[in-house]
């Protein structure tokens, strides 16, 4: 009986610890997502396009950050 009680208490404490860790990861992820600005390596000015008419054919990128 004592061994079953120790197992039950250990499993409950383990799951509570797991829930705390998951909640912490979710909170940190929400903070990072709110203040993180995406890093764009390839932008329109990084491509070498000679004629200006070619730039007008490219659709504008949507800005979802706002």
pTM score, whole prediction? 0.51
d(CA 17, CA 28): 17
Domain of residue 50 covers 2-57
Query: Is residue 13 included in any domain, yes or no?
Result: yes
| pLDDT for res 9 | 97
In a domain, 22, yes or no: yes
Is 62 a domain residue?
A: no
Domain count, the chain: 1
The reply to whether 66 falls in a domain is no
Q: Tell me: the pLDDT tens digits for 19-38?
A: 999 999 999 999 888 887 77
Examine residue 64 and state whether it is found in any structural domain, yes or no: no
3-state SS of the chain is: CHHHHHHHHHHHHHHHHHHHHHHHHHHHHHHHHHHCCCCCCCCHHHCCCCCHHHHHHCCCCCCCCC
Q: Is the pLDDT of residue 46 over 70?
A: no
């Amino acid at each position: 009986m004592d061994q079953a009680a120790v197992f039950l208490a250990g499993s409950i404490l383990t799951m509570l610890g797991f829930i705390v860790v998951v909640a912490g990861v979710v909170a940190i992820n929400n903070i990072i997502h709110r203040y993180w600005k995406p890093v764009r390596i390839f932008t329109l000015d990084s491509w070498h396009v000679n004629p200006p008419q070619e730039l007008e054919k490219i659709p504008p990128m949507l800005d979802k950050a706002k």
